[in-house]
Amino acid sequence: MERKELDEIISLLRERYPDGDRCGLRFDSAIQLLVSTILSAQCTDVRVNKVTPVLFAKYPDAASLAAADISDLEDTIRSCGLYHSKAANIKKCAQSILDDFNGNVPDNLDDMVKLAGTGRKTANLVMGEWYKEPAYVIDTHVKRIWHLIGISESTTPEAIERDLRKLIPPDDEKASDALALSHLLITHGRNTCVAGRPDCENCCIKEHCSSYTGTVKKSRTTKKKR
């Protein structure tokens, strides 16, 4: 796909979802964003936003999170699911921030991915939202829709990230569009291109989607044969 077409897709998605290019999580610091993103694994942003006000009132920073009683931490985040592993990762992550980074969430991708519970998706989100650096967030919605649209043939998050970096390089004057596109595709995946039941007819980018246009072309060919 050429950059011009990708820009058209971004423009159409922004028109359809005026607030869809923003992060849905609520946070007041880098550590709060990091923890919120860890909690969002297999959980909705809406649910996370209901849990974090209580969580951050108790544990507002890395020091308090590292010192948190694991049982209380688990109980506080229980409704987010996977609370045993998430609580353990949050405590370990906070302790590493204290021990290795002077209490500050690292401001580079290489160091951030070393933290417990922090993969490239989470690290990219924090880099983009908090540190305002070029960021390439590839979650399940982005991966699925990226493949359906046919932007590239890549199927793994790492390969998709590389493809997106080529289309929107970090030194591009509109590099922030990469993070915006990720948020827009996530919004689109939740509202229109829903896994297993996509509403293709009401999709604002269907004319740019190889899955849709291929199906239409195949359907027309079949009708002609009849």
Whole-angstrom CA distances from 90 to 47, 50, 66, 118, 136 are 17, 18, 8, 10, 23
How far is CA 80 from its chain centroid?
17
Choosing from 21, 86, 139, 163, which is the catalytic residue?
Answer: 139
**What's the CA angle centered on 182, arms 90 and 108, to 5 degrees?**
50
* φ, ψ dihedrals at 198, nearest 5°: -70, 140
Is-catalytic flag, 121?
Answer: yes
Token duo for residue 190:
């939740």
Residue found under tokens 């209901």: 50
Tally Cβ neighbours within 10 Å of residue 140: 13
CB-based contacts of 145, cutoff 8 Å, min separation 6: 185, 188, 189, 193
Tokens of 56: 């951050």
Which member of 91, 121, 143, 206 is catalytic? 121
Q: Spell out a b/e string for 18-42, using b for 16 or more CB atoms within 10 Å of the CB, else e.
A: eebbebbbebeebbbbbbbbbbbbe
How many Å apart are CA 108 and CA 124, to the nearest integer?
A: 9
Catalytic residue numbers, as ranges: 121, 139
